[in-house]
Amino acid sequence: MKRWIAGLLLLLPMLSLYAQTSAEKLLPLLDEQSFFLGRIQLGKIDIAKIMIPLVQKKTIPAAEAAALGFFLNLQKSSIEKVIDEIWFSASAKDAATYFLPSMMIKTKPSAKTEDLLNLLKNMPLPINIQTPSGQVIRKGQNSILPLSFVIREEKGFYLLEQVGATKDTKKTKRTDIVQGFDAMGSLPFGAMLFPSKDNPLDLGKIFPSLKKANGKEGEVPGILNGLKLVTLGMYLDPWRIQMVIQTEDRELANDVHKSILKAIQGIPDLVQAQVEEVGKDPVFKALAAMVKSVSIMDDKVTIVITDFDPYFEIAARINEQNQAKAAAASSMNKVKNIATALLAYHKENGKFPPAATLSKEGKPLLSWRVQILPYLGHNFLYKQFRQNEPWDSEHNKKFIRRIPPSFRESQENLDKGTTPFQAPVGIATLFTPGGTGTNSIQIINELSNTIMLVKVPEDKTAIWTKPQDWEIDISLPAKDLLKGFTNAIVIACADGEVKAIPLKEAEEKIKSMLVIDGKPKTP
């Protein structure tokens, strides 16, 4: 019980739910056990008003928001040509078995059945659609097991009901919910929950997970079954979410009010892992704002949320963490590709490439990264280099901006031709200064414990063709060697294995992993 309420409250500010207009025409389509109705009013949705605050609060990157906004506007434009409004309904008879509600689509007066079918066919939805006779008119996309719906026309609406849904329930005009339409108003998104007195909503049977309430086992108490009407609406200019819970009497309203406040306080326990990842401060700010938003008057409990900053902060942190995880995964893939190329070079040449190619006079010319280009699929680029000239010769410096994707991670890397993927270069490392290349037989240390490649911080990047890498002085303390690294260090070992080692762990063993004999003494 508490979990259900808490989950609803936590999601409330993030959800875009549904609202009203062809109400009178719609009512006969509901049955005696209908308990949910929602609507999306397409003409009142302004994508920019949704995206702008998300970008301003760094909830979503500006570039992604622009791309997503463009896509959504295209979809919205094509939908609006055919569809006037979309309704959603759920009935107790199917709620335990079928996850999604039924859809009722009101088309434009000028739209034909073929227009709607063509629209549904072209939309990227994971659903199958078939006629009442079983003829498949749309095959689901982007889903291994798409849901199947039957489409039919009734009372001026196109109904999409899940295959297998009960159809013999007695229909009745639900005049008891008319007041709900007035309560929602004409909003972009609106919804209502309406357990009626004549047809009580047995939430315990519909949702078996609701086994406890107020610490007591048994039936779901009247705190839910005593609700007359719940309406939910979302405004976009400015953002505002409003929920009104209409109860049977003042006493029940007090119980609902107390239960909601108690559920809010229990939210951190339900999302403990997320709270720890995101940070407790924004979560507690969100809870404090939510508590302030709950009020009671007579037999109504109202929740009005206008301060979305805490939720934006939570979402921004989650987005930041997801981006960091994605970047780490991308880094590891690139390190793996380079490591594979280094091993392929070793297999063909009997040794790893030298840290730099040298002139006859012993002057460094080109980085090892240039030498492994053929093993990364860039043989044509490799052949264009003049191997007897330095990286910054008039000829060779033309290729700085042609840095391959394998060596770059950021736009800055591309613009400047720099790379964070470097070899540890120093005495007793795999890449010795002025060396001719190390054979794996020379590595006394375990291959799986010898660093061959590392991703350095952005302030240590080097031009990819330049013989410049992560310079190692093994006599320095581990903390000095790892200066600039944060959280973890991404490496590839001499056997090709890629690892992301937490910084604290790296401090303990980095010195033994950098030298080929495994003995981090001063040379």
Among 200-204, 290-294, 360-364, the range with the most confident prediction by mean pLDDT is: 360-364
Which is higher by pLDDT, 224 or 85?
Answer: 85
Tens of pLDDT, residue by residue over 437-458, are: 888 888 888 899 999 999 999 8
The kind and range of the H/E element at 69 are helix 62-80
Decide if pLDDT at 190 tops 90. Answer: no
One domain for residues 379 and 427: yes
Assess contact for 472 and 452: CB atoms under 8 A.
Answer: no
Give a yes or no: residue 477 inside a domain. yes
Give the burial class of 367: count Cβ atoms within 10 A of its Cβ; 0-12 exposed, 13-18 middle, 19 or more buried.
buried
Q: Give me the domain span that covers residue 424.
A: 326-514
Domain end, chosen from 258, 274, 307, is at: 307
Question: Phi first, then psi: what are they for 452, rounded to 5°?
Answer: -110, -30
One domain for residues 339 and 416: yes
Tokens of 501: 């080692």
Which is higher by pLDDT, 319 or 479?
Answer: 479
The reported pLDDT for the residue numbered 421 is: 96
The kind and range of the H/E element at 422 are strand 421-422
One domain for residues 198 and 340: no
Assess contact for 39 and 302: CB atoms under 8 A.
Answer: no
Decide if pLDDT at 21 tops 60. Answer: no
Would you place residue 520 in the very low, low, confident or very high pLDDT band (cuts 50, 70, 90)?
low
Got the DSSP string for 346-399?
HHHHSSPPPSEEE-TTS-EEEEHHHHTGGGGT-HHHHHHS-TTS-TTSTTGGGG
Tally of domains within the chain: 2
The reported pLDDT for the residue numbered 170 is: 59
One domain for residues 337 and 460: yes
Which residue carries 């987005």 as its tokens? 319
Give a yes or no: residue 203 inside a domain. yes
What is the pTM (predicted TM-score) of this model?
0.59
The kind and range of the H/E element at 86 are strand 83-91
What residue ranges in 164-306 does DSSP mark as E strands?
189-193, 212-213, 216-217, 227-236, 239-247, 294-297, 300-305
Give a yes or no: residue 149 inside a domain. no
One domain for residues 415 and 277: no
Average model confidence (pLDDT) across the chain = 80
Give a yes or no: residue 130 inside a domain. no
Percentage of the chain exceeding pLDDT 70: 81
The reported pLDDT for the residue numbered 463 is: 96
One domain for residues 296 and 341: no
At 185 the three-state DSSP class reads coil
Give a yes or no: residue 126 inside a domain. no
One domain for residues 93 and 234: yes
One domain for residues 300 and 380: no
Domain end, chosen from 272, 307, 342, is at: 307
Give the burial class of 238: count Cβ atoms within 10 A of its Cβ; 0-12 exposed, 13-18 middle, 19 or more buried.
exposed
What residue ranges in 6-82 does DSSP mark as E strands?
34-40
Domain end, chosen from 280, 307, 334, is at: 307
Instruction: Tell how strand 189-193 and strand 157-162 pair up.
Output: unpaired
Cα(265)–Cα(291) distance, rounded to whole angstroms?
A: 9
Give a yes or no: residue 156 inside a domain. no
Decide if pLDDT at 469 tops 90. Answer: yes
One domain for residues 347 and 206: no
Give a yes or no: residue 462 inside a domain. yes
One domain for residues 65 and 205: yes
- Which range, of 84-88, 98-102, 164-168, 300-304, averages the lowest pLDDT? 164-168
CA 192 to chain centre: 28
Tell me which amino acid residue 406 is: S
At 254 the three-state DSSP class reads helix
CA gyration radius, the chain: 32
Neighbours of 521 (CB within 10 A): 10
Would you place residue 33 in the very low, low, confident or very high pLDDT band (cuts 50, 70, 90)?
confident
Would you place residue 468 in the very low, low, confident or very high pLDDT band (cuts 50, 70, 90)?
very high
One domain for residues 278 and 363: no
Give a yes or no: residue 106 inside a domain. no
One domain for residues 337 and 365: yes
* Closest residue by Cα to residue 116 from 76, 82, 164, 157: 82
